[in-house]
Chains A and B, each alone.
Chain A
Amino acid sequence: MHKRINLSAMVAVFVIIFLYLPITAVVGLSFNQSSNSLIWKGFSLDWYKTIWSNEPIMSSFQRTIFVAVVTTILSLVIGTTISIGLNKLKAGGFLRTFSTAPAIVPDLVLAIGLLTTFSVISMSLSLTTVIISHTVFCTAFVVAVVLARIGLIDPSIEEASTDLGASAIKTLFKITIPQLMPSLIAGAVLSFTLSMDEFVIAFFTNGPETPTLPMVIYSMIRFGVTPEINVLGTLLLVISFVGVILAQRIGKVADSI
């Protein structure tokens, strides 16, 4: 019996290999004993050990996580507020598009615009300016995700809460936000992962003393790809995956309630 070769399955397999080969290379080479990451010398966890004592990498890693966490919190608060406002105003397509535009504006344009703004208001570049900049585009993503969900909520649920004597604040925290939870989780994961590996905007708006991880990797890579970079790449990958999986889990739970 001849097995029939399914063309579309072949294309799919090819595409998957094409997509995952680079990722596999990063993860695989992070375990390379050789200090030249292109020559395989044997399996080793050495680079995972030495990276903890690499001060520039570790401090930039901490900075990156700090920026991502603060950005996520700010984007969630601002983005949710904007979404609730737009929904209450029954705002039309223009305002909606307007509030989500920073998500699709090219990073480079946004970066130049932000840098110009900071210099006009003479704000010196630091992690604060990075956080502000990241919040600008992450907020747009949060608005996009939360707006999609908020439109599906029966407006009479909030009216029922008021009718039953709840204050506006209680209605917001006990009724509206629990209803939005799946989209808030999605928005948080998006903001965190987008901020964590963002390079162009951080490169433009950061001060010289406080490089974030992508900037440190960029400066290291000019001297060739070291195994340490592969280790960092692998760690970032793990953080992103864990974030996405956690979000899906929590999202499922939140959706079922």
Chain B
Amino acid sequence: MSENLLEIRNLTKNFGSVTALNNISLDIKTNEMFALLGPSGCGKTTLLRIIAGFEYPDSGQVLMNQSDLLAIPTRTRPVNLMFQSYALFPHMDVFSNISYGLTNTSLSKEEISKQTFEIIEKIGLQEHVKKKPNQLSGGQQQRVALARAIARKPKILLLDEPLSALDKKIRQEMQVELKRIQHEFGITFIIVTHDQDEAISLANRIAVFNKGEIKQISSPQELYENPTNEFVANFIGDGNLLKAVSTGNGFQHPSLGEIVVSHNSGSGKQISILIRPENISLVKASDGAGEITDSVFAGSRKNITIKLRTNEIVRVYADKSASLEIGDRVNLSFKPQDVRVF
């Protein structure tokens, strides 16, 4: 694949006694759609603001094409930010908002106007050129914010929770649109989000953050299928995390019995196991390991909740035609290769 555009090396940032970033290292490649994903307060926004130039790290380096990005003043960094609130200039019309970044260059008026209209056309805002931000819908405002942020042709576009303020239908539209624009303009996107669906649907690669540390960096599929730790397992997708005790060649669970799975935790240790809801099938049995406590029709499937004898809750996606009722006792079956051990 292509070379690294951005290299983040041992970045640390404290706010008073709070550690926002703890020795973070991370590479982002040219033309990637990269997501920084994590719960609020995990440090992802701090990293975004350091790259944009609104914060300065306590220690560590940020390199763009091998040269120090932190040495470049905020104003002239080849990085632009699309704010979560959009931060459009309320007293300027759409044209002035989008051309604002270009007016801070040495370009001639004609050239600024030409380039602005090119972007307005590519983003589909032709009908709104003279409107003020408060005359636009949320989706249109976001398009203006996006157009304004890419007008200076940055090497990296930072997007802070780009879809969070939009309703579901426009979200899907914007997802497609963001990918199209990323492709068309050839800009590397770094998306900050707390919403795993947003990250999974947009990004090629995701860095999962928690408490100022990166828990895992991989493709969305890899994060879902092979989380490397309990936090990622819990944060990405629906999953069942159960407590078990490791044995030599598997683990022992009080309700599920002994399961043979290869792992390297050693014997006799407390471990967590992850099984995804779609990987479990249910068999009715009067002496089953669990009892169905809830069953919700969800279109293509039934979402079934089971309470094990250990009082642990397990969620299972069952076929919509399965004859499973609340109160039924069931046994759970799954393939050992679908089990992840932490």
- Show the binding face of A for B, using Cβ within 8 Å: 154, 156-157, 159-167, 170, 175, 178-179, 257
A-B residue pairs in contact (CB < 8 Å), sample of 30: A154-B87, A156-B84, A156-B85, A156-B87, A157-B89, A157-B90, A159-B54, A160-B81, A160-B89, A161-B89, A162-B53, A162-B54, A163-B52, A163-B53, A163-B75, A163-B80, A164-B100, A164-B104, A164-B148, A165-B76, A165-B105, A165-B152, A166-B75, A166-B100, A166-B104, A170-B104, A179-B91, A257-B90, A257-B91, A257-B132
Residue with the highest number of chain A CB atoms closer than 10 Å, among B76, B84, B100, B149: B100
Cα distance, A186 to B13, chains bound together (Å): 42
B-side contacts of A167, CB under 8 Å: 75, 104
Inter-chain CA distance A162–B53, complex, in Å, is: 10
Is the CB–CB distance between B91 and A161 below 8 Å? no
Interface code B55-89, partner A: CB below 8 Å = 1, 0 otherwise? 00000000000000000001110001101110111
Give the Cβ gap from B82 to chain A, nearest Cβ, in Å. 9
B101 at the interface (CB under 8 A from A): yes
Taking the nearest CB of chain A, how far is it from the CB of B50, in angstroms?
A: 13
Q: How large is the interface on B (under 10, 10 to 19, 20 to 34, 35 or more residues)?
A: 20 to 34
Q: A154-B85, A156-B85, A175-B89 are in contact. Are A163 and B74 (CB under 8 A)?
A: yes
B100 x A161 contact (CB < 8 A): yes
Chain B 222-259 near chain A by CB (<8 Å), digits 1 or 0: 00000000000000000000000000000000000000
Most buried by A among B81, B85, B91, B152: B91
> Chain A residues with Cβ under 8 A from B100's Cβ?
161, 164, 166
Total cross-chain contacts (CB, 8 A): 60
Question: Is B83's CB under 8 angstroms from A156's CB?
Answer: yes
- Give A163 to B75 CA distance when docked, in angstroms: 5
Please report the C-alpha to C-alpha distance between residue A80 and residue B148 in the assembled complex, in whole angstroms.
Answer: 29
Of all chain B residues, the one with the shortest Cβ separation from A168 is B75
Q: Write the chain B residue with the least CB distance to A254.
A: B91
Expressed in whole angstroms, the Cα–Cα distance for A154 and B148 within the complex equals 17
Quick one: given A179-B91, A257-B91, A257-B132, are A163 and B104 in contact (CB under 8 Å)? no
- Report the Cα distance A170→B84, complex, angstroms: 23
B87 touches A159 (CB 8 A): yes
Residues of B within 8 A of A175 (CB): 89
Contact B91 A178 (CB under 8 A): yes
- The 8 Å CB contact of B90, one of A161, A170, A179, is A179
Residues of A within 8 A of B84 (CB): 156
Q: Pick the residue among B90, B101, B132 that contacts A164 (CB under 8 A).
A: B101
Instruction: Tell whether A162 pairs with B75 under 8 Å between CB atoms, given A179-B91, A257-B132.
Output: yes
Task: Note all chain A residues with C-beta closer than 8 A to B152.
Answer: 164-165
A257 contact set on B, CB distance < 8 A: 90-91, 132
For B151, what are the chain A residues with a Cβ–Cβ distance below 8 Å?
164
Q: Are B76 and A159 in contact (CB under 8 A)?
A: no
Distance between Cα atoms of A154 and B89 in the complex (Å):
10
- Tell me which residues across on chain A come within 8 A of B105, comparing CB atoms: 165
Tell me the minimal C-beta distance from B197 to chain A in angstroms.
24
Q: Tell me the minimal C-beta distance from B138 to chain A in angstroms.
A: 15
What does the 1/0 interface line of B185-211 toward A look like (CB < 8 Å)? 000000000000000000000000000
Residues in A whose Cβ lies below 8 Å from that of B74: 162-163
Cα distance A156–B89 in the bound complex, in angstroms: 10
Chain B contacts of A156 at CB under 8 A? 83-85, 87
- Which residues does chain B contribute within 8 Å of A159, judged by CB atoms? 54, 81, 83, 87
Chain B residues positioned under 8 Å from A161 (CB to CB): 89, 100
Are the C-beta atoms of A160 and B87 separated by less than 8 Å?
A: yes
Closest chain B residue to A163, Cβ basis: B81
Bound-state CA distance A178–B152 (Å) is 24
